[in-house]
Amino acid sequence: MEITEKLNILADAAKYDVSCASSGGTRKNTKGGLGNSHISGICHSYTEDGRCVSLLKILLTNHCIYDCAFCVSRRSNDIKRAAFKVQEVVDLTINFYRRNYIEGLFLSSGIFKDADYTMERLLRIVKKLRTEERFNGYIHLKTIPGASEALIREAGLYADRMSINLEMPTEQGLRLLAPEKSHAPVKHSLQLVSQSIAQFKEERKLLRHVPRFVPAGQSTQMVVGATPETDMDIMHTAHHYYKTYNLKRVYYAGYIPISYDSRLPAMGTQPPLLRENRLYQTDWLMRFYGFEVHELLNPLHPHLDVEIDPKLSWALRHMEQFPVDINTADYRLILRVPGIGVGSAKKIVQARKFGSLRFDQLKQIGVAVNRARHFIRCADSPFSIGDPTANVIRAQILASTTSKYIEKSVLQLSLF
Amino acid sequence: MWVYLFDGTFIGLLTAVFERYDRKQHPVRIAPQQRYAPGLMDEPVAVVSDDTKARRVWQGLGKRLNTDWMSRLYAAFLGEQPEGFQHLFDLACYIINHGGDVIANYGNPHVLYVAQLHRKVHREKHRMEAFVRFQQLADGIFFALVEPDFNVLPLISRHFKNRYADQRWTIYDRRRDYGIHYDGSGVSEVTIDFIQHTGKHRGVLPADLLAEQEVLYQTLWQGYFKNATIPSRKNTTLHIRHVPRRYWKHLTEKAFLPLAL
Ligand code: SF4
């Protein structure tokens, strides 16, 4: 088979993994070597669905001994199969990298024969890139769950990031669609890598020549909307994995119908893009805005609001915490105001040292004043009698915003 | 009002700040010589760029500001905005008069303007680090054409030098008609007579100038790009927001291949 066709097949099969981040790498170029990591990562292009293209994201092969219902590469699926040779992946990576198409390689694979056989080939590729080609660009490698400890620990010396996908947010969900699989080997391998990361870090403190081990950390991915979990189930799982395995990122992939299997949403169903977006917003609030997961999702509110973002939704449920006085309030409270991001919040606490801030200054700083004005006081806030209720504010904000996702979903709803 | 006419360079701008204190003149308007249209009440003063004077101002600022802000000032200058020169001038004076702490005062119009212009320039720098597409020429050099909104080559040179330390490369700004070239040890500025080398196709190198495998890798990359898209998620608005059309011309994944011409 020609290399062009192989690449097309194995890129196509890899595209359902939504992670393409190249961030968190700290690798510098070595003398006479090629490449380095960019601290915040670089998106070299964007696909026509608007996703970042940062890494050459391919499968080593789409042959697979498993039959996971949600996966295009499942063994019962009648598709064209292909497999790269080790050298082919190396050549593609290096040549794409030299042309500044990519930040590096994201290598995953279907399972041929067994976990170790597959992991051993993945290892050969990354080892060759690092040692023979002296490649210092970014490498994201899939850990094959259940592969032997020795293989995983060696691969970690060459990869910047490793990941294993949970696939379904709960064990029950996974059992339903992939009866041959369970979360146990995934947890075991996540644990192994996470322990090794910690151990190498400790040793590096004492001895400088101890090599780095998966310096950009681990991540995982969950498919959303294939099984009936609530947003609360999903985010509690995410929270648990962030904490237990010290993950850098959890990705949420809206399920894209690829099968007529009756256990799954029908072909032609739109992928739940808006829901996916809301989950990412929640993830963000947990990681950067000091929110606890139960503040945003709890048995009273097991689902995220579709119409408005989770921060606004939380604020409207907690009107007693507002208004926040921009000129005196604690940074953490300012961060909780809808319409104020991390950057603006930082600028506010710096700038207010030089005098009380007014609305126009907030606007200049980058605050979405239209949204924030319902929740703040600043130097020139008008005196008002009787604050509007949460419902009034919600209606006002909704009337003044259009979402890139809402339009589409309204359109879909109106079809039924 | 005093109008300082400088030569449009960063050295010139810093020299102007020096002159303002040396001559104790205030307020001062500043304008690049080439674009100056005299006004009725103007008192024009020609500023002669002077390395020593400029360095003293730069060092003075360096004592008051951290390196982040120093590079922000320079980046904002490369934004090439006529009103930006005035803001930079006024900001420098503001810092010299009141000390470095006032740089955090986003309520001040000069601080805010320079911070915002820097943001735009920085975004363009970041875009160029992403959107440069090298084509390997027959002599082995990796060559890229760009047309950035701002003059960002000075800002991206270190990134490319560090990353592609083992390959020779040139990045050429078609709009400003100069490029940077790395020969395996250092980066220098170059100019190229394009018409002579490439004929009339702007931005497209003829296939016979390219290395043997170049077209293969361009084809592979285009195929990859196409197959990485998920059709049911297609979102052209989002796509174009991330990759504005004006950049497409030099993006391999968007361009026609040399062979197709
Ligand atoms: S093991 Fe992985 S590649 Fe194989 S069918 Fe399951 S999800 Fe797909």
CA distance B222 to B12: 45
The secondary structure of A358-411 as a DSSP string is -HHHHHHHT--HHHHTTTEE-TTPPP-SSPPPHHHHHHHHHHH---TTHHHHHH
- Residues B140 and B244 reside in one and the same domain: yes
Q: Is the dihedral of CA A279, A283, A289, A293 positive or negative?
A: positive
Residue B259 lies in a domain: no
- Residues B157 and B98 reside in one and the same domain: no
Q: Measured between CB atoms, does B41 come within 8 Å of chain A?
A: no
CA distance A162 to A346: 33
Residue B256 lies in a domain: no
- Give A20's Cβ-side CA count (13 Å radius): 24
- Residues B110 and B168 reside in one and the same domain: no
CA distance A190 to A262: 31
Domain boundary residue, one of B124, B152, B169: B124
Question: pTM for this structure?
Answer: 0.88
Write b or e for each residue in A347-386: b if 16 or more Cβ atoms lie within 10 A of its Cβ, otherwise e.
bbbebbeeeebbbebbebbbbbbebbbbbbbbeeeeeeee
Centroid of ligand 1 to alpha carbon of A74 (angstroms): 6
- Residues B103 and B180 reside in one and the same domain: no
Cβ under 8 Å to A: B residues 99-118: 102, 104-108, 112
**pLDDT, position B200:** 54
**pLDDT, position A266:** 86
Nearest Cα residue in chain B from A349? B104
Domain boundary residue, one of B124, B151, B167: B124
Q: How confident is the model at residue B201 (pLDDT cuts 50, 70, 90)?
A: low
Q: What is the pLDDT of residues B8-56, one digit of tens each?
A: 999 999 999 999 999 999 899 999 998 888 888 889 999 999 999 999 9
- Residues B222 and B110 reside in one and the same domain: no
- Helix %, strand %, coil % of chain B (to 5): 55, 15, 35
Using the predicted structure, report yes or no on whether residue B197 has a pLDDT greater than 80: no
Q: Which residue has the tokens 């590079």?
A: B71
SS (H, E, C) A305-331: CCCCCHHHHHHHHCHHHCCEECCCCCH
B37 min Cα distance to partner chain A (Å): 31
SS3 state at A99: coil
Domain boundary residue, one of B101, B124, B147: B124
Atom of ligand 1 nearest to the CA of A167: 7
The residue range of the domain holding B242 is 132-250
Q: Where are the domains of chain A?
A: 3-285, 310-415
Using the predicted structure, report yes or no on whether residue B104 has a pLDDT greater than 90: no
CB atoms A271 and B229 under 8 Å: no
- Residues B105 and B170 reside in one and the same domain: no
CA distance A334 to A372: 10
Residue B15 lies in a domain: yes
Residue B257 lies in a domain: no
Task: Pick A45's closest partner by Cβ from B134, B165, B251.
Answer: B251
Nearest Cα residue in chain A from B248? A45
Strand A249-254's sheet: what is its strand order?
Answer: A55-59, A104-108, A138-142, A161-163, A218-224, A249-254
Q: What is the pLDDT of residues A111-126, one digit of tens each?
A: 989 999 999 999 999 9
- Residues B168 and B215 reside in one and the same domain: yes
CA distance A100 to A96: 7
- Residues B6 and B111 reside in one and the same domain: yes
Residue B217 lies in a domain: yes
Average pLDDT over residues B180-190: 94
Number of domains chain B is built from:
2
Query: What mean pLDDT, rounded, does chain B reach?
Result: 90
A68 lines ligand 1 (CB under 6 A): yes
- Residues B26 and B91 reside in one and the same domain: yes
A111 lines ligand 1 (CB under 6 A): yes
Residues of B in contact with A99 (CB under 8 A): 133-136, 142, 217, 221, 252
Residue B260 lies in a domain: no
CB atoms A11 and B228 under 8 Å: yes
- Residues B115 and B176 reside in one and the same domain: no
- pLDDT above 70 as % of chain B: 94
User: Helix A183-206 vs helix A231-245: angle between axes, to the nearest 10 degrees?
Assistant: 40
Please choose, from the candidates A86, A92, A124, A104, the residue with its C-alpha nearest in 3D space to the C-alpha of residue A34: A104
**pLDDT, position A407:** 46
**pLDDT, position A378:** 83
Please report, as a single letter, which amino acid is at residue A55: L
Centroid of ligand 1 to alpha carbon of A181 (angstroms): 10
- Residues B40 and B109 reside in one and the same domain: yes
- Residues B49 and B65 reside in one and the same domain: yes
Residue B86 lies in a domain: yes
Q: What is the pLDDT of residues A288-316, one digit of tens each?
A: 999 999 999 999 999 999 889 999 999 99
**pLDDT, position A169:** 92
Centroid of ligand 1 to alpha carbon of A111 (angstroms): 7
Write down the CATH number for the domain with range A3-285. 3.20.20.70
Atom of ligand 1 nearest to the CA of A75: 5
- Per the CB < 8 A criterion, the answer to whether A110 and A144 are in contact is no
Residue B255 lies in a domain: no
Given a cut of 50, the residues of chain A with pLDDT beneath it are 406-416
